[in-house]
Amino acid sequence: MTNYNIGSLFKGMFRTFQHLVGKKATLEYPEEKYIPRKGYRGEHRLKKDEQGRMKCVACFMCATACPAECIRIVAGPSPWPDRDKIPVSFEIDLLKCIYCGMCEEACPCDAIELTPTFTQIATTREEKIYDLQKLMNR
Ligand code: SF4
Ligand code: SF4
């Protein structure tokens, strides 16, 4: 065996030892959950005001700004005097979404935000199309 090979052998053993005693790179999911860094952009939610009403005024700014064209809004008349419209339907197709945050940036009412929800589980495509109810109750 040449010196080169012996050196490589010890280097390899040292690296293996490092992995044995070092910090784990994997998590025991689902018991251990990954906590994303601050500012992580996960699934969306529609915010409510102090009176528990949706903040959204159906202005379509988020849908217009969305580069993935995955927001669909249908507007209807508002039951409250402080705005003209509210969404009667609001859908986001999270399988098309690229989590860029443009919708949140574009909203003039601070009505939509991306949450730090990291785990996303679904068994059908339909489950990843979030409707108004789902977006409001997150
Ligand atoms: S995060 Fe980006 S791609 Fe996803 S809905 Fe918002 S604007 Fe569209
Ligand atoms: S979430 Fe914001 S930008 Fe989108 S329609 Fe509602 S108020 Fe407008």
**Residues 85, 75 contacting (CB under 8 angstroms):** yes
> Which residues approach ligand 1 with their CB closer than 6 A?
65-68, 70-71, 92, 97-103
The CB of 112 under 6 Å from ligand 2? The reply is yes
How many whole angstroms from 46 Cα to the centroid of ligand 1? 13
Tens-digit pLDDT string for the chain (138 aa):
556 688 889 999 998 888 888 877 788 988 998 899 999 999 999 999 999 999 999 999 999 999 999 999 999 999 999 999 999 999 999 999 999 999 999 999 999 999 999 888 899 999 999 999 999 998
Query: What's residue 138's pLDDT?
Result: 87
Query: What's residue 36's pLDDT?
Result: 93
For residues 58 and 108, what is the distance between their CA atoms, to the nearest angstrom?
11
Please give the DSSP secondary-structure letter assigned to residue 54. Answer: B
**Domains of the chain with bracketed CATH:** 24-136 (3.30.70.3270)
Strand extents, DSSP E, 32-84: 44-46, 71-77
Return the structure tokens found at 41. 């952009």
Strand extents, DSSP E, the chain: 44-46, 71-77, 85-93, 112-114, 129-130
Q: Which ligand is nearest to the CA of 100?
A: 1
The CB of 71 under 6 Å from ligand 2? The reply is no
Query: What's residue 2's pLDDT?
Result: 56
How many whole angstroms from 9 Cα to the centroid of ligand 2? 61
Query: What's residue 120's pLDDT?
Result: 86
Place of tokens 């990954």: 34
pTM of the entire structure? 0.83
Residue 131, C-beta contacts closer than 8 angstroms, at least 6 positions apart: 89, 90, 91
